[in-house]
């Protein structure tokens, strides 16, 4: 690279300074014409001087640009190496943590399985489970003294009544509308209420007969028949009847509609049992 200072000129450089302009006044016409001819032929020392200066400036600028690019590439390489080292360390550390956690979970699962199934005798013959007849009243003493709770009202005598609804199909034909009204308002489609029931905790009123919470009454439904049970009023829509005798585990849960429609009947303990 040329180490000359920019702006300096050699012996062939010519500059049109004030002295040259002042001296040109005293030059002959022939001399000035020769200078002009050299300029036209691109052979004047001034043109060569300017070209050398431009070339030198371009070389210096290219050298500066090259060094700047080399320094930028070096910094980028250093940053990349630093980030790569950092990410590699974080990745290795995270993998080791996951391996430790997986190993710990595997050990815990193995301990749990050993604790849960370690005492199971897989060589023991499979025996069919015991079956019991839960329809009888007395449940004590069968099956090694196990006490079996029979099916409750909700899963043995469910209310399948369809709720009331009315369709307005806007038929123009009078005969069609009359037939629809006859079908929708037929007596068997309506809800049948046999008793007037009011539940006001701690009191149950059925057809003006009052029953107290905790009172022993006779209850009847299609599943158990007559049951001597203790009345428990849960809320204003639900009552619970549980066998009063120690050996009787039968239970009946009745809603307000069950009592009104006669699916569950409650009577006082006095008098004869109601039979159906």
Question: How does residue 73 score in pLDDT terms, banded at 50, 70 and 90?
Answer: very high
Using one digit for the tens of pLDDT, what is the confidence trace for 129-171?
A: 555 555 544 444 444 444 444 555 444 444 445 555 454 555 5
Percent of residues in the chain assigned helix, strand, coil, to nearest 5: 40, 15, 45
The three-state secondary structure class of 18 is helix
Using one digit for the tens of pLDDT, what is the confidence trace for 183-231?
A: 666 655 566 778 889 888 888 999 888 999 889 999 998 888 888 999 9
CB 233 within 8 A of CB 244: no
pLDDT score, position 262: 87
CB 35 within 8 A of CB 26: no
Strand locations in the chain, DSSP E? Answer: 197-200, 203-206, 209-212, 216-221, 225-235, 238-243, 251-255, 265-267
Using one digit for the tens of pLDDT, what is the confidence trace for 237-253?
A: 889 998 888 888 888 88
Lowest mean pLDDT among 40-44, 131-135, 141-145, 266-270: 141-145
Is 2 or 161 the better-scoring residue by pLDDT? 161
Domain layout of the chain by residue ranges: 44-118, 153-267
Q: Which residues pair with 223 in a beta bridge?
A: none
pLDDT score, position 77: 92
pLDDT score, position 274: 43
Which residues are CB-contacts of 242 (< 8 A; sequence separation ≥ 6)? 229, 230, 232, 250, 251
Residue positions counted in the chain = 276
CB 249 within 8 A of CB 147: yes
């Amino acid at each position: 690279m040329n180490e000359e200072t920019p702006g300096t000129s050699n012996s062939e450089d010519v500059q049109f300074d004030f002295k040259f302009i002042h001296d040109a006044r005293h030059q002959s016409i022939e001399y000035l014409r020769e200078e002009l001819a050299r300029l036209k032929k691109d052979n004047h020392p001034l043109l060569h001087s300017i070209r050398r200066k431009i070339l030198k400036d371009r070389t210096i600028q290219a050298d500066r640009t090259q060094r700047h690019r080399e320094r930028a590439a070096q910094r980028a390489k250093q940053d990349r190496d630093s980030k790569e080292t950092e990410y590699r360390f974080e990745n290795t550390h995270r993998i080791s943590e996951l391996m430790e956690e997986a190993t710990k979970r595997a050990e815990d699962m193995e301990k749990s399985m050993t604790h849960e199934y370690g005492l199971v005798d897989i060589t023991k013959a499979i025996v069919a489970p015991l079956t019991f007849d839960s329809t009888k009243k007395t449940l004590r003493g069968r099956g090694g003294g196990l006490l079996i709770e029979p099916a409750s009202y909700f899963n043995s005598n469910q209310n399948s009544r369809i709720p009331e609804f009315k369709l307005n199909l806007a038929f123009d034909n009078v005969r069609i509308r009359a037939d629809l009204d006859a079908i929708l308002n037929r007596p068997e489609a309506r809800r049948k209420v046999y008793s007037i029931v009011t539940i006001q905790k701690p009191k149950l009123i059925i057809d003006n007969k009052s029953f107290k919470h905790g009172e022993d009454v006779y209850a009847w439904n299609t599943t158990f028949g007559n049951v001597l049970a203790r009345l428990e009023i849960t809320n204003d829509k639900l009552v619970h009847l549980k066998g009063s005798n120690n050996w009787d585990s039968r239970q009946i849960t009745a809603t307000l509609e069950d009592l009104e429609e006669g699916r569950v009947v409650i009577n006082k303990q006095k008098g004869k049992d109601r039979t159906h």
